[in-house]
Structure 1
Amino acid sequence: MGKKVRIYKSVSIFDGVTIGDYSYVNAGSIIRSGKIGRYCSIAYNCVIGAGEHPLDRFSTSSRFYRKNKLKHYLKWKEIYSPPVIEDDVWIGANVTVLQGVRIGQGAVIGAGSVVTKDVEPYTVCVGVPARKLKDRQVQEAHQVFIENDWNLMSENEIYHKLGDNLVR
């Protein structure tokens, strides 16, 4: 966990998950696997990087690929490719992010979406499966800031450098 990360009630975060500075995860979310960047906003009831069941076996039940009655582990990797959520991503309520995807910096994922493939930086994606709706329009005054790795700065540095331009 990075510094000043906020985790709200009833959130499940599994081993191996990383969350960058100044990000938050709202109530009811489950983060099974993945890397979450700095300044990310994750709304209520999201599921990120959940395990998957095998589709090529006689059964998809975990009774047959976890430790079985014979005390043998049957080979199946539930977490094969944790998702990567880059810096400054906003994920709306009830979103599912599947394994193997990358959500680019500054992207927005609309409520109720299911992210099944990579999302380009600074795009807004919605739907099931999530598709690009539009590009985020960043104000000209902020463009230089974005191009100079603002996401690596602390909150205080950002407020100091942007000042009144932060709210315009």
Structure 2
Amino acid sequence: MGKKVRIYKGVSIFDGVSIGDYSYVNAGSIVRSGKIGRYCSIAYNCVIGAGEHPLDRFSTSSRFYRKNKLKHHLKWKEIHSPPIIEDDVWIGANVTILQGVRIGQGAVIGAGSVLTRDVEPYSICVGVPARKLKDRQVKEEHQVFIENDWNLMSESEIYHKLGPSLFR
């Protein structure tokens, strides 16, 4: 966990998950696997990197690939490629992000979307499955900060460098 990360009530975060500075995960969300960057906003009831079931076996039931009463353990790697959420991503409520998905910096994901493939930086995606709606329009005076890795700065550095232009 990074600095000033907020995890709200009822959130489940599994081992191996990392969350960057100044990000938050809102109530009811489940983060099963993955890496969440800095300054990310994750709304209510999201599911990130949920487990999968094998599709190449006679049954998808976990009774046949996990330890059971018969002491058999058929190995199957459940987490094949944890999702990566880059910095400054806003994820709306009730979003599901499947394993192996990468969400680019500055992207916005609309509420109720299901992400099955990668999302380009600074794009807005919506739907089931999620599709690119349009690019985010960033003010010209802020473009220089994007190009100079503002996301690696602390809050105080950002306020100092952006000054009044932050609120225009």
TM-score, with structure 1 as normaliser: 0.99
Confirm or deny that 1:26 pairs with 2:19: no
Unaligned runs of at least 5 residues, structure 1: none
Determine the structure 1 residue equivalent to 2:106.
106
1:68 CA displacement: 2.4
Determine the structure 1 residue equivalent to 2:51.
51
Task: State how many pairs are aligned.
Answer: 168
Determine the structure 2 residue equivalent to 1:151.
151
Determine the structure 2 residue equivalent to 1:41.
41
Determine the structure 2 residue equivalent to 1:94.
94
Residues 14-71 of structure 1: CA distance to partner in whole angstroms, max 9, x if unpaired? 0000000000000000000000000000000000000000111111111111112332
Within 1, Cα distance between the matches of 2:120 and 2:73? 38
Determine the structure 2 residue equivalent to 1:136.
136
AA aligned to 1:143 is Q
1:72 CA displacement: 2.7
Runs of 4+ in 1 over 2 A off after TM superposition: none
Within 1, Cα distance between the matches of 2:64 and 2:73? 9
RMSD across aligned positions (CA): 0.6
Within 1, Cα distance between the matches of 2:83 and 2:138? 25
AA aligned to 1:21 is D
Within 1, Cα distance between the matches of 2:35 and 2:89? 12
Within 2, Cα distance between the matches of 1:62 and 1:150? 44
**Aligned sequence identity (%):** 90
- Aligned-partner SS, 1:159: helix
